[in-house]
Amino acid sequence: MLLASAVVVWEWLNEHGRWRPYSPAVSHHIEAVVRAGPRAGGSVVLGQVDSRLAPYIIDLQSMNQFRQDTGTLRPVRRNYYDPTSAPGKGVVWEWENDNGSWTPYDMEVGITIQHAYEKQHPWIDLTSIGFSYVIDFSTMGQINRQTQRQRRIRRRLDLIYPMVTGTLPKPQSWPASPGPAAAPPAAPCSCPQCVLVMSVKAAVANGSAGPLQPPAARKHMPESGVVKVPPPPGPGVKPLDSTGTIRGPVKTVPSQAIRRQASSTPAGANAGSPASPPGANGKTERVALATLNRTNLQRLAIAQSRVLIASGVPTVPVKNLSGSSPVNPALAGITGILMSAAGLPVCLTRPPKLALHPPPVSKREIKSIPGVSNTSRKTTKKQAKKGKTPEEVLKRYLQKVRHPPDEDCTICMERLTTPSGYKGPQPTVKPDLVGKLSRCGHIYHIYCLVAMYNNGNKDGSLQCPTCKTIYGVKTGTQPPGKMEYHLIPHSLPGHPDCKTIRIIYSIPPGIQGPEHPNPGKSFSARGFPRHCYLPDSEKGRKVLKLLLVAWDRRLIFAIGTSSTTGESDTVIWNEVHHKTEFGSNLTGHGYPDANYLDNVLAELAAQGISEDSTAQEKD
């Protein structure tokens, strides 16, 4: 039981193994749901507090962040920090990235920088916490010790992170019990992972072999063996010294100083030294394993597998489950713990590394795509045909309704039997006229449809606001650029029998036109050229041909606000997902993905692009 005050910072684990803090506002929102208990439903919708995080939901039971559009899972944690440190004062330290936007430092780095700033040090070297950077407060710059590259940094004030006082809760599953110190502890988590871990802890703590430790298996185990266990993975962790030498068939990691946090606590015992008697040493190990929480047990299994790989011990392979989310390695780790408790050596397969690009390809290896003309295509601004008024355009798609039904117009929400409630610039048609769209049959005020058309791209097309049926040829507002496409002699994961179609999009920055959100203002184009990949299969070539139509219609990109960086007036994807990760699927934007081609065909169809569209383009 820890009696103290602390600030709570919610953090998520990125693909580089770094814990990244949510903003103070988001942390307050998550904390409010946690304190509300089970009546809040056990999940947090981040878009409710930050529109840039609209795709994300946090599941408090599994402590994972889920991205709804890609299915990507990332672990989250509830971490505690000193209330006198940076998060307790609302201080945020940020560095300027290559896009010109500002990125907050990891919380431990920001706290270290703030501490030196308050001590009025002229600079601070971050090497001691695992980063090869020097922060110069006189120039407010970050200097890379190896390359000498400099970046700007800044210190800004934000909300103070949520504060907790009194008894800090020990690691436990949601919901946390917010009651007083004397309140009974919350019921243990009943998820399959926790049940398995708790059973291992109980079996080892009681010194009983049980079903997990058959006597036959124990009989053939070596009485002693010297094994050096590497430290658990993590930034800034120092290597173990000679005290890391452990005896016995069950290998543990010596306890180290670990920050108080909701998902990790220090191990309660240290491993015996090489001079310890085997019997005493084995007993100590049982106590240490029984006090480890789920995170440290997973680290133990991974460290143990690395030792076995290095020592050449015959092992039983436990493969990661199919998929790419961080949950799968965790499940494999639990399996490893169970097998090690049964006296069986375990070897966990290593998780795949991020592979954004294919191996180098020479120019002579790049080939054109059979059945697809040319290898590149440029696009320029296409304006709507002149001489067509909105009324004339809509006349092609509408049938007048003389006796409208007594229901709402879903554009202005007034009854169709009354005049339109639209209050903007006045169209030239009468406000009480009603029309029915010819294909889908939905009925609206013609006045409202004209106003909707005037607020759109004015390209001669119309999209039903109810069912999204497209009338005419829909075009977008994609800025000018170039699309290249060709074959490379490498296969994508999940498509071993064919080569790969590589698409390269190039769009330069420029000035927004009248069809864009802020005409006359400059726009940025980050991350170009962008490389995307399709399998060179029959369906893959079909997708490519339709993407070419979408490119010509200016529907691949748009100008808006980036959901990733929050930057406005920049080039963004426009509702047609692309695979930008070549050799893995760690980000959710790679392969294998059995449903991707069908999904992108559906997204293109929603933009009015199908196989019939290719024939229309030729005409």
Q: Position of tokens 């039904």?
A: 405
528 token code pair: 């170009």
**pLDDT of 232:** 39
* Dist CA 298 CA 295 (whole Å): 5
* Dist CA 446 CA 429 (whole Å): 7
Q: Check residues 389 and 547 and name the one with the higher pLDDT.
A: 547
Q: Mark out the alpha helices in 141-184 (DSSP H runs).
A: none
Check: CB of residue 67 under 8 Å from CB of residue 79.
no
pLDDT tens digits for 17-75?
888 999 999 999 998 888 887 766 678 889 888 888 888 888 888 888 888 767 778 89
Mean predicted confidence (pLDDT) in 273-280: 35
Count of C-beta atoms within a 10 Å radius of residue 92:
22
pLDDT tens digits for 390-407?
888 888 999 989 899 999
CA 544 to chain centre: 26
* Dist CA 200 CA 162 (whole Å): 35
Burial 26-50 (b: 16+ CB within 10 A, else e): bbbbbbebbeeeeeeebebebeebe
pLDDT tens digits for 576-613?
999 999 988 877 789 999 899 999 999 999 999 988 87
44: number of CA atoms within 13 Å, CB side?
A: 29
Residue 252 has pLDDT above 60, yes or no: no
Pairing of strands 481-488, 500-506: antiparallel
**Amino acid occupying residue 32:** A
Check: CB of residue 31 under 8 Å from CB of residue 145.
no
- What do you get for the CA distance between the two ends of the chain, in Å? 76
Least confident window among 47-51, 335-339, 423-427: 335-339
Q: Check residues 475 and 194 and name the one with the higher pLDDT.
A: 475
Mean predicted confidence (pLDDT) in 143-172: 80
**pLDDT of 217:** 37
Domains contained in the chain, CATH given: 1-87+161-168 (3.30.720.50), 91-157 (3.30.720.50), 390-458 (3.30.40.10), 475-616 (3.30.390.130)
